[in-house]
């Protein structure tokens, strides 16, 4: 890094962010981080001021998912601890976010005084972050600070999970020193093990009659989408995606089957995958959400399971084989090109949706109509609840254009995530799908969208409360306040709002939303309390058969 010999710790950290091409940092200042904020403002990096720290975490997470790595910067404890839930989500779903937190100066910390924002001791926040990051450091020593910063960035980038850097305020201007050049920590495969693993995998695939690939989120995170496309086009093996991996491949690719998620997914996809005699899982975490709450039936005897963390073939594991090397070797291996599979049950062309202008809007029709509205430049960000269940059936045109906390499922992700997502990809129009409950948690972050000149189209799926939970256990605890969502433009001084009760109103509002590019658009889609998406219905129906 240039000029590192004379750099201060603050300057080095900023240079490191730029070296990793991080152009936006999300957060809220506080006195313990103000000096670093001053440097941040003087740097070419844009600071994006949010209304809450958890929302800053979601925005940085979305930015990281789209851009490859992201960062959030907050003050000590009141800020950092408020962001732990979103960073926990980034950990669980493998999103590489650098967390920078200010802290009391090392001089101030001597004799353990009761300084504001301190919880138990001065390491409380660091200890909490140890549980939800892959690497963490307190930059309390100028001699080791540069190496520590290198170590955390390196771990975050390689493991695609968050890292924590705490910067005491009197260390920002301290001059650091590079003790040693960062070691090349590139992990490499053991050639013999790699050869043996590839041989076994090739044999299994070659002997199988109807292999299928199940593609997961790690292909997004490591940027292996091209390798996936090459592999399926070389072999004609069809591919399904997990929910968390949705949009890992263009959803109109002729070899794409749809989302596989056990009982929640479409029957045809489920049958196709479960009747395969060789399921090749690539970069997918087999979570309960991916498997439709443990209703999937995959036999280990017929499974090849490859991720960045493990290579399992049937019942045994190969160690010292990297995900990347294995994919490259499979691309070069003598795998036969099969006949094109017959996939005539998949609807390829977008069906024209006939709008029944006066018909009351339902969740099913909402998603059918939205499907016709999604274009090449649309990025869809779905919150949890029926926003996510319904979105499973949406057809995403480009890859990596669908984001959702589909495994950790924290409500409130989508609106703040739309800020990180669109700043990372300004050429995209973001459609946010969000339940009324989730919107009430973080929807006011639209204020930041206005300040940043962003233009999300926010579809509030308003089923008057915690709909998903009503289907599990009804009670007054599922009711929430009845907000006038379409009036928010008045409060925020920008935007366009619509109340949607019929299909005609939805169609008209969506057309106006496309034309309104200067600020956000919010659609309050009024639904029946007990209405639900086809995916949620499928799940309920299949589960009820099991009990
Ligand atoms: C932060 C957080 N708190 C609580 C929950 C538990 N929870 C799961 S679904 C749900 C209701 C979601 O309501 P809404 O956003 O309106 O979506 P809907 O289910 O109505 O489609 C709740 C409270 C959660 N997942 N995340
Ligand atoms: Mg709701």
Per-residue pLDDT of the chain (547 residues; tens, 9 = 90+): 444 667 999 999 999 999 999 999 999 999 999 999 999 999 999 999 999 999 999 999 999 999 999 999 999 999 999 999 999 999 999 999 999 999 999 999 888 888 899 999 999 999 999 999 999 999 999 999 999 999 999 999 999 999 999 999 999 999 998 776 766 667 789 999 999 999 999 999 999 999 999 999 999 999 999 999 999 999 999 999 998 899 999 888 999 999 988 767 788 898 899 899 999 999 998 776 666 555 566 777 889 999 998 899 998 999 999 999 999 999 999 999 999 888 887 776 666 789 999 999 999 999 999 998 988 899 999 999 999 999 988 888 777 689 999 989 999 999 999 999 999 999 999 999 999 999 999 999 999 999 999 999 999 999 999 998 888 888 999 999 999 999 999 999 999 999 999 999 999 999 999 999 999 999 999 999 999 998 888 777 766 665 4
| Ligand 2 centroid – CA 496 distance (Å) | 21
HEC string for 118-146: CCCCCCHHHHHHHCCCCEEEECCCCCCHH
**Which residues fall within 8 angstroms of residue 127, CB to CB, at 6 or more apart?**
none
Q: Which two tokens stand for residue 543?
A: 């589960």
Sorted by sequence, the CB contacts under 8 Å of residue 95 that are 6+ apart come out as: 61, 64, 65, 70, 89, 160, 161, 162, 221
**Bridging pattern class, strands 316-318 and 311-313:** antiparallel
For 421-459, letters b (16+ CB in 10 Å) and e give bbbbbeebbbbbbbbbbbbbbbbbbbbbbbebebbbbbb
- Helix H or strand E segment including 86: helix 84-92
Per-residue tokens: 318: 């190969």
Q: Are 74 and 53 in contact (CB under 8 A)?
A: yes
Atom 11 of ligand 1: nearest residue by CA position: 466
Residues having CB within 6 Å of any atom of ligand 1: 384-386, 409-412, 435-438, 461, 463, 466-469
CA 418 distance to own-chain centroid: 11
- CB-CB contact of 474 with 443 (8 Å): no
Distance, CA of 246 to CA of 396 (rounded, Å): 8
pTM: 0.93
- Starting from the CA of residue 406, give the closest ligand: 1
In ligand 1, which atom is closest to the CA atom of 386? 21
Closest-CA residue, ligand 1 atom 23, reads: 466
Longest dimension (CA), the chain: 74
CB atoms within 10 A of CB 120: 9
d(CA 464, ligand 1 centre) in Å: 12
Residue from 391, 411, 473 to probe ligand 1 pocket by mutation (most atoms less than 8 Å from CB): 411
């Amino acid at each position: 890094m240039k000029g590192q010999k004379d750099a201060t710790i603050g300057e080095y950290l900023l240079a490191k962010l730029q070296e990793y091409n991080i152009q936006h940092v999300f957060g809220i200042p506080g006195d313990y981080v103000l000096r670093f904020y001053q440097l941040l403002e003087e740097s070419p990096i844009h600071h994006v001021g949010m209304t809450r720290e958890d929302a800053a975490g979601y925005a940085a997470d979305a930015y990281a998912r789209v851009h490859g790595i992201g960062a959030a910067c907050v003050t000590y404890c009141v800020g950092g601890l408020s962001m732990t839930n979103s960073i926990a989500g980034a950990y669980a779903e493998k999103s590489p976010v650098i967390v920078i937190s200010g802290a009391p100066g090392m001089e101030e910390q001597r004799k353990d005084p009761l300084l504001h924002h301190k919880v138990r001791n001065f390491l409380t926040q660091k200890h909490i972050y140890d549980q939800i990051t892959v690497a963490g450091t307190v930059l309390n020593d100028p001699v080791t600070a540069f190496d520590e910063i290198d170590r955390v960035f390196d771990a975050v980038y390689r493991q695609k999970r968050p890292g924590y850097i705490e910067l005491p305020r009197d260390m920002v201007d301290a001059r650091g020193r590079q003790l040693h050049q960062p070691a090349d920590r590139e992990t490499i495969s053991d050639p013999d093990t790699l050869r043996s693993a590839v041989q076994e995998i090739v044999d299994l695939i070659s002997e199988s009659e109807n292999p299928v690939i199940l593609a997961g989120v790690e292909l997004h995170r490591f940027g292996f989408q091209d390798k996936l496309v090459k592999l399926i086009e070389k072999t004609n093996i069809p591919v399904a995606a997990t929910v968390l991996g949705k949009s890992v491949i263009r959803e109109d690719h002729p070899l794409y089957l749809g989302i596989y998620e056990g009982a929640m997914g479409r029957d045809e996809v489920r049958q196709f995958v479960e009747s395969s005699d060789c399921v090749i899982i690539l970069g997918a975490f087999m979570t309960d959400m991916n498997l439709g709450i443990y209703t999937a039936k995959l036999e280990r005897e017929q499974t090849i399971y490859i991720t960045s963390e493990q290579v399992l073939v049937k019942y045994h594991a190969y160690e010292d084989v990297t995900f990347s090397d294995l994919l490259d070797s499979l691309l070069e291996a003598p795998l036969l090109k099969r006949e094109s599979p017959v996939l005539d049950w998949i609807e390829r062309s977008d069906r024209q949706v006939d709008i029944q202008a006066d018909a009351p809007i339902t969740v099913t029709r909402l998603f059918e109509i939205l499907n016709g509205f999604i274009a090449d430049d649309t990025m869809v960000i779905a919150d949890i609840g029926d926003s996510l269940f319904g979105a499973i059936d949406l057809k995403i045109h480009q890859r990596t254009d669908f984001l959702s906390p589909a495994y950790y499922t924290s409500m409130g992700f989508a609106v703040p995530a739309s800020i990180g997502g669109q700043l990372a990809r300004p050429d995209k129009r973001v459609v946010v799908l969000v339940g009324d409950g989730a919107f009430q948690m973080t929807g006011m972050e639209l204020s930041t969208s206005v300040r940043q000149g962003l233009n999300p189209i926010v579809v509030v799926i308003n089923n008057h409360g915690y709909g998903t939970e009503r289907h599990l256990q009804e009670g007054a605890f599922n009711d929430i306040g009845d907000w006038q969502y379409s009036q928010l433009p008045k409060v925020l001084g920008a935007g366009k709002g619509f109340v949607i009760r019929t299909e005609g109103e939805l169609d008209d509002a969506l057309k106006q939303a496309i034309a309104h590019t200067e600020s956000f658009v919010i659609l309050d889609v009024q639904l029946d309390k007990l209405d639900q998406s086809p995916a949620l219905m499928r799940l309920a129906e299949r589960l009820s058969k099991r009990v």
